Amino acid sequence: MPNNHDYHLIPEVEQCFSEIEFLKCNGKVNDNTLSILTKTCKSIKELKIYSYENDYNYQIAKLIENQKELFSISFLNNGRSSRKIIENSLIKHADTIQYFSTWEQPKTKVLTSFVNLKILKLINASPFVKLEWDNIKDLTLPSLHTLIACDIPINYLINLIESSGRNLIKIYYHHNHDAVTVIDDKKFIQAIYQNCPDLMYLEFLYKNKNNIDFEKLLINCQHLKRLDFCIYFYYNVDHKRYSWDNLFNILAKSSPPSLFEFAFKYTNDNPKLESLRLFFDNWEGRHPISLKFKKERYHHYDESGYDELIDLIERYKKKGVVKKFIYYYDDEDSDLLEIYKAKKNH
């Protein structure tokens, strides 16, 4: 919302503001604008706030408190004092908030009051700075169905899944600085298959050493529709190539009927043609499979094997085994193999 307007000069501005249901503003919104918003806006349902220590207008807390039915709050907030003020202003809306997103660790235990929270997004904006995140340590959210977390202590997420996992259908978790051990990964997988029977979507850092527990996850979570594997991190930490054959064997053997879409992200290492051929042969007779490989944009990839790969994929598409096979950078709809074919035929 721009600050450089004198909204008092706009006819019927209060009537217009009174109908606002979505608001995105930064912390340095000026007093005049904020005064009008606080006075007239009572129906905001979704609020996004970007605030920093040096430009925070503390009256934003009053704007939050004045809302009748706030259900979604997102903020990027690097100011310690302002974080606490914002969080305290949310307590009034504890029963209505269903979506909460933050890029900084909570300063208070306000999350414990969100009894109807359905979607929780926790992002550590400073992944190389160790933060404790103690205020989510013993969190229980009985209505939670989506959990998105990046660079958050995995033991706290495990506790949350164990206490609140019965309704979870989506879990997305990865850790940018590779602090997740094989034991952590094992406990994370165990927490999911023991507590999340209705899980449909999962993104996580998978390590080959936890094959037995991963197979139990596939067996126990019979509603899975898509798995996203963060492979790049594993490759960097263990300094060895990924064991595609082990993973493909487990997927072909134990995937529930609903699961036929897989994404492998940040893959410097590609499966060999023979590994893919064996996987497709073992998958035959099931729902056609979709495989997506997300590449690092600044990594050089040798295209010399693309012709053989494309031939293999086309053969198994004709047999009804493969539905999609995509190499991509950021957009799953921009297939690098299709781009290669177009360049070759040009």
Tens of pLDDT, residue by residue over 136-181, are 988 999 999 999 999 888 999 999 999 999 999 999 998 765 566 7
DSSP 297: T
pLDDT digits (tens, 9 = 90+) for 10-36: 546 677 788 899 998 877 777 788 888
The most distant pair of C-alpha atoms in the chain lies apart, rounded to whole Å, by 71
Q: Is 61:91 a contact under the CB 8 Å cutoff?
A: no
Can you say how many angstroms the Cα of residue 214 is from the centroid of all Cα atoms in its chain? 20
Q: Given its phi and psi angles, is residue 111 left (phi above 0), alpha (psi -120 to 50 degrees) or beta? A: alpha
The per-residue DSSP string of 291-312 comes to EEEEPPTTS---GGGHHHHHHH
Tokens representing 208 are 């080959």
Place of tokens 């023991």: 194
pLDDT at 227: 98
What is residue 72's three-state secondary structure? Answer: strand
Residue 52: per-residue pLDDT: 65
Residue 319 confidence (pLDDT): 98
Using CA atoms, how far apart are residues 156 and 168, in angstroms rounded to an integer?
A: 16
Strands of 226-230's sheet in order across: 22-26, 46-51, 72-77, 99-102, 119-123, 146-150, 170-174, 201-204, 226-230, 261-265, 289-294, 322-328
Amino acid at 24: K
**Residue 186 and residue 94: Cα distance in Å, rounded?**
34
* Rounded-to-integer distance, Cα 318 and Cα 230, Å: 30
The pLDDT value recorded for residue 56 is: 63
Q: pLDDT at position 80, please?
A: 60
> What are the residue ranges in the chain where pLDDT is below 50?
9, 11, 233-237, 239
- Confidence at residue 53, expressed as pLDDT on a 0 to 100 scale: 60
